[in-house]
Structure 1
Amino acid sequence: MVNIKDVAARANVSVGTVSRVLAKNETVGKELRELVEATIRELNFRPSGVARGLRRSRTDMIGLVIPDITNPFFAELAKHVEASASQAGFSVLLSITNDDPKIELSQIETLLRSYPTGLIVVPTQFGAPAKWQSDIATVAVDRRLKNYPLISVDHYAGAGLAAQHLLQLGHRRIAYIAGPNESPVSRERRKGFLDTLIAAGIQPEVVEGHFDYQSGEVLGKHLLSSPEDVRPTAIATASDQQAIGLMRAASDLDLKVPDNLSIIGFDDIPLANLITPRLTTISQPVEQIAARAVAFVIGENAAGTNAGLLDATLVIRNSTAAPR
């Protein structure tokens, strides 16, 4: 493999001269620079990004830490982070923590040894305190992390939109499938939904599970096992995955959505627009969240990055309707 010493020897210059050419240092004369650049092309030399990073205490890489790549929302976030970073000339190093604080610490320490330009971190679900320190640009996404800036949708207001939609359709027997109460995101969504309904004089039935498909199915069967005259006519969920699991539970019980049951989710994952019926949900601006996070860590801090939370949007599809 060709290295910088090979280039210097072929061009009959010092290694320092080659380094200055690579760094586009203006102290190198035109003729000498052209000679070195021609030699680099001749030998097809590709300088190591990490090696260059060590010399300037950073690389053209961004560290992205997410809890779970199988979660469609985080997979979508990673896709948009990579696209925004690539457009800015950066590559992305992805680490997955499996929602485990110990793994999170290990992964971040490993990333920091690669001298990234910055870190984008979706912390573990239950908000364990970060036990690492770094002076590089770091931003938290979706969930708060110590005193680092946060880029996130307004979970409370988004869940309130779901409640308002069901009220406007005329539903009064409403239930809610929450995420784990230990999760700050889950608590915000639950509170936003309940506050809106309670203000309208309705006390919904609430059950708690995980954000996954299985919880939606199991808890959905529990909620729908009541007699027809008392069971919910509408159920909101803390995630689209729960909502899709709930749809399966309704199908198993021969209940049609939305004729017998209205369902509304949260996140607007790609699958929400593919299932039958298509899922009414609360959409997060994932592409905008990713773009702002990348802009922050590479030093192109977009206006308003820390000015507040981003707005969620109600996306009405085919899984909600007025109660019969």
Structure 2
Amino acid sequence: MVNIKDVAARANVSVGTVSRVLAKNETVGKELRELVEATIRELNFRPNGVARGLRRSRTDMIGLVIPDITNPFFAELAKHVEAIASQAGFSVLLSITNDDPKIELAQINSLLKSYPTGLIVVPTQFGASKGWSSDVATVAVDRRFAGLPLISVNHYRGAGLAAAHLVALGHERIAYIAGSADAPVSRERRAGFLNLLGTTGARCEPVEGHFDYASGETLGRFLLDRPPHERPTAIATASDQQAIGLLRAASDLDLKVPDDVSIIGFDDIPLANLVTPRLTTISQPVEQIAARAFAAITGTDNGPLQDDYLEATLVVRGSTAPPR
């Protein structure tokens, strides 16, 4: 493989001159720069980004750590981070932890060996990894992590929007499908939903599951397979995945949405606008979250790393309506 010494020898210049040309150092004269650039093209030299990073203690790469690539929200986040980074001339090293703190720790330590400019970490659901430290700029997204600055939607207020929407439609018998009580995001969304309902007098039956399609379907069947006067007229969920599973349960029981039961989700994943009926949901500004996280770790926001909460919005589609 051609290396920087080969380029220097062919151009009859020093290795330091080639390095300054690669770094776009303005102290190199025009003619000398053009000579080195021509030699680089002639030899088809590809500079090693990691090697250059070792010399300047960073590379033009960022690390992105997520718990589950099959979760549509995290996949959407990864897509936006990669697009924003690419436009700014950065590469993204993606690591998936499978929601396991031990894997998370190993992945973070592995990423740090590549001398990234910064790390964006969506931590595991049930606890933060310990045993690592670094001076690399790092932010947490969606969930609190190891005392790091957090960039997230306000889960509590977002869930309150869902409760307010159902109450405004006139629903009084309401159920809520939560995520695991051990997960901080689940607790925030549940508290936001139930606390707002508590101010209205509406009845609510909360049940607990996981942030997935199967939980929505199983718990939906539990809530809906009842006589009409006993089942809820509206069900809110802690995730769109649960809500889509709930749509399946309603269909299996020959219940029409929203005529027999209104359903509202949380996240506004792409599938929410494709199911039938299209899902009313609480939308997270995923692209904006990705942009702020990238700006924070690369220093382009010109400010210190700190918590940054964004607001969720209510997106009304065809799955909610007043009770019959």
Question: Which TM-score applies when normalising by structure 1?
Answer: 0.97
Corresponding residue number in structure 2 for 1:317: 317
Contact kept in structure 2, 1:292 and 1:302, CA below 8 Å: no
Q: Secondary structure of 2:92's partner?
A: strand
Report whether the alignment pairs 1:250 with 2:230.
no
Q: Secondary structure of 2:235's partner?
A: strand
CA distance in 1, matches of 2:302, 2:269: 25
From the superposition, tell whether residues 264 and 304 of structure 1 become closer, same or farther in structure 2 (CA, over 3 Å): farther
From the superposition, tell whether residues 106 and 308 of structure 1 become closer, same or farther in structure 2 (CA, over 3 Å): closer
- Aligned runs of 1:223-234 on 2, under 5 Å? 223-234=223-234
Out of 4-13 and 126-135, give the one that drifted further: 126-135
Contact kept in structure 2, 1:172 and 1:202, CA below 8 Å: yes
CA distance in 1, matches of 2:26, 2:79: 37
From the superposition, tell whether residues 304 and 51 of structure 1 become closer, same or farther in structure 2 (CA, over 3 Å): closer
Corresponding residue number in structure 2 for 1:169: 169
Corresponding residue number in structure 1 for 2:214: 214
Corresponding residue number in structure 2 for 1:203: 203
Corresponding residue number in structure 2 for 1:74: 74
Contact kept in structure 1, 2:171 and 2:202, CA below 8 Å: no
Contact kept in structure 2, 1:233 and 1:261, CA below 8 Å: yes
- Aligned runs of 1:96-175 on 2, under 5 Å? 96-175=96-175
From the superposition, tell whether residues 30 and 302 of structure 1 become closer, same or farther in structure 2 (CA, over 3 Å): closer
Corresponding residue number in structure 2 for 1:22: 22
Give CA-to-partner distance per residue, 1:89-109, whole Å, 9 cap, x none: 111000000000000000000
Contact kept in structure 2, 1:280 and 1:318, CA below 8 Å: yes
CA distance in 1, matches of 2:36, 2:311: 52
CA distance in 1, matches of 2:56, 2:304: 29
Corresponding residue number in structure 2 for 1:47: 47
Q: Secondary structure of 1:130's partner?
A: coil
Shift of 1:276: 0.4
Letter of the structure 1 residue corresponding to residue 65 of structure 2:
V
Out of 299-308 and 250-259, give the one that drifted further: 299-308
Q: Secondary structure of 2:310's partner?
A: coil
Which runs of 4 or more aligned residues in structure 1 lie more than 6 Å from their structure 2 counterparts after TM superposition?
Answer: 302-305
Letter of the structure 2 residue corresponding to residue 147 of structure 1:
G
- Aligned runs of 1:270-281 on 2, under 5 Å? 270-281=270-281
From the superposition, tell whether residues 195 and 242 of structure 1 become closer, same or farther in structure 2 (CA, over 3 Å): same
Q: Secondary structure of 2:103's partner?
A: helix
Give CA-to-partner distance per residue, 1:4-57, whole Å, 9 cap, x none: 121111112222221122123344333322221211121121111111111100
Q: Secondary structure of 2:172's partner?
A: coil
Contact kept in structure 1, 2:149 and 2:307, CA below 8 Å: no
Give CA-to-partner distance per residue, 1:150-197, whole Å, 9 cap, x none: 100000000000000000000000000000000000000000000011
Question: Which TM-score applies when normalising by structure 2?
Answer: 0.97
Corresponding residue number in structure 1 for 2:13: 13
Shift of 1:304: 10
Contact kept in structure 2, 1:127 and 1:144, CA below 8 Å: no
Contact kept in structure 2, 1:234 and 1:262, CA below 8 Å: yes
Corresponding residue number in structure 1 for 2:284: 284
Contact kept in structure 2, 1:130 and 1:145, CA below 8 Å: no
Give CA-to-partner distance per residue, 1:233-270, whole Å, 9 cap, x none: 00000000000000000000000000000000000000
RMSD: 1.4
Please list every run of 5 or more consecutive structure 1 residues that lacks an aligned counterpart in the other structure. Answer: none
Q: Secondary structure of 1:62's partner?
A: strand
**How many residue pairs align between the two structures?**
324
CA distance in 1, matches of 2:305, 2:159: 22
Letter of the structure 1 residue corresponding to residue 215 of structure 2:
S
Letter of the structure 2 residue corresponding to residue 290 of structure 1:
A
Q: Secondary structure of 1:123's partner?
A: coil
Q: Secondary structure of 1:110's partner?
A: helix
Corresponding residue number in structure 2 for 1:62: 62
Q: Secondary structure of 2:272's partner?
A: helix
Letter of the structure 1 residue corresponding to residue 73 of structure 2:
F
Shift of 1:129: 4.2
Identical aligned residues as a percent: 80
Shift of 1:148: 1.1
From the superposition, tell whether residues 286 and 50 of structure 1 become closer, same or farther in structure 2 (CA, over 3 Å): same
Letter of the structure 1 residue corresponding to residue 7 of structure 2:
V
Q: Secondary structure of 2:160's partner?
A: helix
Corresponding residue number in structure 2 for 1:296: 296
CA distance in 1, matches of 2:257, 2:59: 51
Corresponding residue number in structure 1 for 2:84: 84
CA distance in 2, matches of 1:59, 1:298: 11
